Structure formats: C-alpha cells, structure tokens
Structure 1
Amino acid sequence: VSDSKAGVDVTQDVIVLAPISDGAVAVDWDHAMEAGLALADLESSPSDGAQFGPVPSAASKAKSYETWNKDFAGCLFRNQKVDLFKSPSTKEVSSPGESERDFRVRLQQSGREVRDKQSDSLRQKYAPKIAAIQDRIRRAGQMVERQQAESRSSQMQAAISVGASILGAFLGRKTVSATNIGRATTAIRGAGRAIKESKDVGQAEENVSALQQQLADLEAQFKEETDTLAAATDPLNEKLETVSLKPTKANIAVKLVALAWTPHWRDSNGATIPAWS
C-alpha cells in the first residue's frame, strides 16, 4: 500500500488457505482463512505414514492456477486495506502497525509545536483589537477628567454669579432693575451650562463603562478560543480519525498459488480434526 499524501509506503505479505472443490467455483478466495505461517514454513514432503485425500479435478489442471492467481489478486484488491490513525489537529498519520497509544505519545511533541504556532496566531489576531480598545478607554478616561474639571469650574462660576445677583438685588436701591434682571439672566445661563456639562460628565463616564465592557467581552472571547485550541490540540484526548488505505491493482503482486496439503488427525469415529494452527 502506498499513499504519498499520508506518507505511507508499506508492503504486507498475505498467505491464505482456501479449500478446493469440484463445484462451479472451485476456489472461493473471499472465504479463505489466514494461514498464520510464512512460505518458508511449508514442507515439501509429508510425515511418515500420512495419507492423502482425493485431489479435485480442477487442482490437476495447470490452467486452473493461472485463473486462481488472477482471482486471488482481485480478492486482495477488494478486501485488503491498511487502517491508520490520523490526528485532526496536526494532520499526522500513524505508521502501519503503530498502536493508538504509541501514536498519541508520539503526537505530544508535534502537538505542542502546532499548539504554540496556533496560539501565536491567536494572540496576533486579538492583540491589535485589545490594544485599540485600551487606547480608547485611556482617551475616554482623559475626557472624563476634562469634563469633570470643566463641570466643577462651571458650577462654581454659576454659584458665584447667582449669589452675586441675589446679593445685588437685595442690596440695591431698586428691588427690580434692568441691571439686576441682566445679572440674574446671566446667572441662570451659567447654571444651565453647569447642568449641561454635568450631563456631559455622565455621558463620558458611560462611554468609559461601555468600552470597559467591550474589553471584558473581547478578553473572554480570547480566553474561550484559547481553551478550545488547547482542547483540540491535546493528543491524549482528541478524537482520532481513521484512514483506510487500499492497494491499487498495480501494487498487488501474487508470488505463488500452489496446491497445499493441510495435516489433520482422524479420530476413532473417522472424523478429521485439524492438526495445525
């Protein structure tokens, strides 16, 4: 099996045993069983005193083995595959035969590298936004201080003006005069400005509070994404995907299709029992 994307190139030997019959399908490779041995384990001569069962007619024809060779290659193409583990976070794929535990242990190092890289990207994403809001909070705070200073000054001037107007009205010869009315009007206007600037202070403070809430929300969002990233790149807990790789016809090579005799014991009732495992 070879897959350049997964970085896998592995060769597996498949040795199976399939019974031969005189039926329409003499050999059914789809129902063959794993032999559990290597070609070198096969013996060329039987044990002393061994008896042989009858040979099906198809097994005595050389052409049958050519057909069975092609059929076996087709069976391998349909049924053989290599199942591997894949990490969604690092995109790494396990090696053939590597257990899930060993693969997760190997992922820890690469997972840390991926997590550090993604964390840097996340910080670069949020740092300008956080800095911008912090700067707006700083400038809004300065505005509050100016508004408070102007409001205190206006309130003091209005209080002095109103006090002077009232005092002038009481101390003057005429209770109601154009001068007194003018002074009172000026005092009222000053008081109006003081009230307006007091409202401006309140609005400026509300603006600071709103910006502080935006900053808190942004920091909470950053923490949530950071926690999600940490969980997603945890090789010991992340859910691994399964990648199944199948061989191509060009990658299948049948080395040998041969007639083999499997040893059996015959019990007292004449039934045969496999003498191999």
Structure 2
Amino acid sequence: SVDLWKEAAMLVPEYFENTIDIWEECDVHWSPDLEFDQAADPAGAYADLSSDMTKSNSYRSWRKQLRDFIYRDVTLPLWQDETSDLYSTPEETESGFRMRVVQAIREQNDLEVEKLKAKFKSKFESQRDRVLRAEEKVKREEAQYKEKSYMSLVSIGSSILGALMGRKIASQTNVSKGATAIRSASRAAAEKADIQLAEDKLEQEQAKLKELEIEFDAEVEKLEQRIAPDSIKLEEYPIRPRKSDINVADVALLWMPFAIHANGAKEALFTINE
C-alpha cells in the first residue's frame, strides 16, 4: 500500500459552453506555488464570460466532475521490476529506481556467482585430477619407451656382435639372440603406440576441462548481463487514489493574463512554479 498525500491544481485553459466534461483538457500541476493578484492590470481587458461561468450550479457540477476525473484519470506513476520484485517509492524517479534495481541485482548476482563457483568446484577438481593423471600416464609411457628402446638397442647390438664373433650367423644361439632382439624391438614399438594413446587421452581430458571453463564463463556472463541498466525492463505500476481520500478544496473562476499580438497569437503573461 502507498500512503501519500499530494496537492495539485487542475487548470482548464479554455472553457467552451455546454462542454460535457471540462476536466478532460485540464492541465495538472503538482504541488503548485500559486500567487494571485487581487485585481487585474488596468490596461488589460476581460474576455467574454460564458453564461455557465456565472451560475453557482455549474460550479457544483464541475466540482463533482473533478472528483470523478481525479479518481478515473489521475494516477501516481510507480515502477516495478519483475526480476528483483522491487517497486519504486512515490518520491523516487524512474532513473533513481533503475539504479536501485541495478544495485539489488548486482548484490544478488554476487550470491549467484558464489553458488555457481560452489556448483562447479567439484567438477573442476575432478576434471583437473583427470588431466593430471593423464599427464602422469604420458610421462610413464615415455619413460618405459626410452627403457624398452635402450634394451632393444642393446639386444640387437649384442645379437649382431655375437654372430660376428662366432662366425656362425645361423647358429642356435645367434638365432635365439636375434629372436630376443626382435621381441625387444616389438615391445619398444608397442610402448611408442602406448605413448600416442596416452597423449590422445590427455588431449581429450584437457578439452573437457576447457569445455567446463567455457560453460562456467557463459553462466557468469549470463548473470552479468542482467546488471546492465539498459537491459532492465521496468513496468509502470500506476496507483489510483481512493475516492474517499479525494478532497476537492475549491472550484473557482481564475482569470489568466495573456498578451494578444497583432497576428492574433496569444502569449501567456504568467508562470506556474511546481
């Protein structure tokens, strides 16, 4: 609910006789500072006054019409933001309310980012652990490959040396050594293939970690986009007065001074301070 009392002056700039509702064209001035002269400028002249303006019954009718007009058409403009579920205060400007909404959403976003970090924390830890294990696997496979390659080199060298020293290439011993050398070379080749598999696995785990980082950054960016003042869509939330609270102080004839130029144009000789 809103508890606010405001004063206003409704001025009808021009009246035409037999007008159905004179207040439809009135100018509403909130909290006006009106000062009246008790007498007109002697050099001035009065415009013609319609017969309605001289009848007391007209003023009673206009008073009732004014009360209905205020209830029907005069509202207090407030704003609502559905994202933060905030409403502006009666004395708050739209820009001031927008900045308050931005601050509220920013504070809420900070909480959401912390929740997001907590949500992704275990995912990041698990994936980084997989990357670390994959890196260690590559290192082990590379070490084993070096070891097998060295053993294969020694075996082949030993086999060739034995064959040359014995002068019997096809002897049973030389054949056995040659077979051992071939097996060592095969194991070394297998270890090299294992390195490739380990490196492929490492690339896969690193790619998954990168995807997780992109997903996290996208979620954070989505939250940050809500903070931009231009992205906040405010809805006008007009408040109507209660009819029982409407107090029409007076309805009176007000002579307003104008200067009439030779071309017929009118120039107001008064100001209304609000």
**TM-score scaled by structure 1?**
0.70
CA RMSD for the aligned pairs? 4.3
- Aligned letter for 1:189? R
- The number of equivalent residue pairs is 262
1:175 paired with 2:169, answer: yes
Alpha-carbon displacement from aligned partner over 1:80-105 (angstroms, at most 9, x marks no partner): 340437495x5544322323564466
1:94 paired with 2:88, answer: yes
Unaligned runs of at least 5 residues, structure 2: none
Unaligned runs of at least 5 residues, structure 1: 3-7
Q: Counterparts of 1:61 and 1:195 in 2: how far apart (Å)?
A: 111
**How has the CA–CA distance of structure 1 residues 251 and 186 changed in structure 2, closer, same or farther, with 3 Å as cutoff?**
farther
Q: Counterparts of 1:203 and 1:225 in 2: how far apart (Å)?
A: 33
Q: Counterparts of 1:203 and 1:251 in 2: how far apart (Å)?
A: 82
Identity of aligned residues (%): 24
Partner of 2:236: 244
1:82 partner SS: coil
**How has the CA–CA distance of structure 1 residues 264 and 141 changed in structure 2, closer, same or farther, with 3 Å as cutoff?**
closer
**How has the CA–CA distance of structure 1 residues 29 and 193 changed in structure 2, closer, same or farther, with 3 Å as cutoff?**
same
Match of 2:202 among 175, 187, 208: 208
Q: Counterparts of 1:148 and 1:133 in 2: how far apart (Å)?
A: 23
- Aligned letter for 1:255? N
Partner of 1:149: 143
Q: Counterparts of 2:94 and 2:202 in 1: how far apart (Å)?
A: 53
Q: Is the 8 A contact 2:134 2:198 kept in 1?
A: yes
Q: Please identify, of 153-162 and 105-114, the stretch whose mean Cα deviation from structure 2 is larger.
A: 105-114
Q: Is the 8 A contact 2:163 2:174 kept in 1?
A: yes
**How has the CA–CA distance of structure 1 residues 10 and 162 changed in structure 2, closer, same or farther, with 3 Å as cutoff?**
farther
Alpha-carbon displacement from aligned partner over 1:240-275 (angstroms, at most 9, x marks no partner): 433312235756743228541102458799x99877
**1:36-47 maps to which residues of 2 (within 5 A)?**
none
1:56 paired with 2:65, answer: no
Q: Counterparts of 2:241 and 2:91 in 1: how far apart (Å)?
A: 22
Alpha-carbon displacement from aligned partner over 1:201-241 (angstroms, at most 9, x marks no partner): 2331343244334434543554455456446436xx55443
Q: Counterparts of 2:188 and 2:130 in 1: how far apart (Å)?
A: 26
Partner of 2:124: 130
Q: Is the 8 A contact 1:126 1:222 kept in 2?
A: yes
Partner of 1:15: 9
Partner of 2:255: 263
Q: Counterparts of 1:223 and 1:143 in 2: how far apart (Å)?
A: 29
Superposed displacement of residue 177, structure 1: 3.3
Superposed displacement of residue 197, structure 1: 0.4
Superposed displacement of residue 162, structure 1: 1.8
**TM-score scaled by structure 2?**
0.70
Q: Counterparts of 1:33 and 1:250 in 2: how far apart (Å)?
A: 21
Match of 1:233 among 227, 233, 250: 227
Q: Counterparts of 1:228 and 1:181 in 2: how far apart (Å)?
A: 71
Partner of 2:79: 84
